[in-house]
Chains A and B, each alone.
Chain A
Amino acid sequence: GAVVSQHPSRVICKSGTSVKIECRSLDFQATTMFWYRQFPKQSLMLMATSNEGSKATYEQGVEKDKFLINHASLTLSTLTVTSAHPEDSSFYICSARDFRVGGTGELFFGEGSRLTVL
């Protein structure tokens, strides 16, 4: 089945630094990927929709200059948390929908990336 891979799975950084998280669709092309954020014991909150070859669409309240999204190819989207602060510590999860012919259209999720900002 389709697989979405995220890297790194865990990252610890100092306050003020930037962190890049990669999301790859391993066996299908994804023109659209979605980035979610999940705080402990809370639900997944959509941050932005990443579109291949164009600008990402951000949800209300998400700072586009802080959370930079790049979707340079049909299999890779990156999320960069710039000038990270402790309040950015969270579980970041990407997802992509498999729209291949004959596919289910299922939305597959990566394993998530745990960011801890000291």
Chain B
Amino acid sequence: QQQVKQSPQSLIVQKGGISIINCAYENTAFDYFPWYQQFPGKGPALLIAIRPDVSEKKEGRFTISFNKSAKQFSLHIMDSQPGDSATYFCAASTEAGTALIFGKGTTLSVSS
């Protein structure tokens, strides 16, 4: 499997702050980059996704920034809330229907 590298492994942010999680990929054939949120004991849920034809996508408090030349993309969570405390995974795949390859995950804790 092609690797998707995610950092940091864990992150502590104060309520109202900005959470930033970064990912880098190797396979230039990837053209679909989603972020998933997972709570303990649950399956992952799609937060937001981007395709390489745009450099940024925003949905509510969540923004993906995408740098195609650097093969990097990041998730920004604005005005972080305690309810955002979860594990976040970046992933990548091709649009041809192949499986997602996941990063190792980032455990986010938002302190109130």
Contacts and interface: CB of A to CB of B under 8 A. Distances in A.
B43 A111 contact: yes
Given A59-B1, A107-B34, A46 B99 contact: yes
A106 interface: yes
A42 B104 CA distance: 6
Contacts of A49: 98-99
B49 interface: yes
Interface residues of chain A: helix, strand, loop or mixed (majority): strand
A80 to B, nearest CB: 20
A97 B105 CA distance: 21
Contact of B41 (A32, A43, A108, A114): A114
B97 A97 contact: yes
A110 B34 contact: no
A49 B105 CA distance: 22
A56 B97 CA distance: 15
Given A107-B34, A109-B44, A99 B103 contact: no
Interface string B36-58: 10000111111001000000000
Given A97-B97, A107-B34, A107-B46, A112 B103 contact: no
Interface in B46-103: 46, 49, 89, 93, 95, 97-103
Interface string A61-104: 00000000000000000000000000000000101010100000
B102 A44 contact: yes
Interface of B: 1, 32, 34, 36, 41-46, 49, 89, 93, 95, 97-105, 107
7 contacts: A6-B43, A44-B44, A46-B100, A95-B99, A105-B32, A106-B49, A107-B34
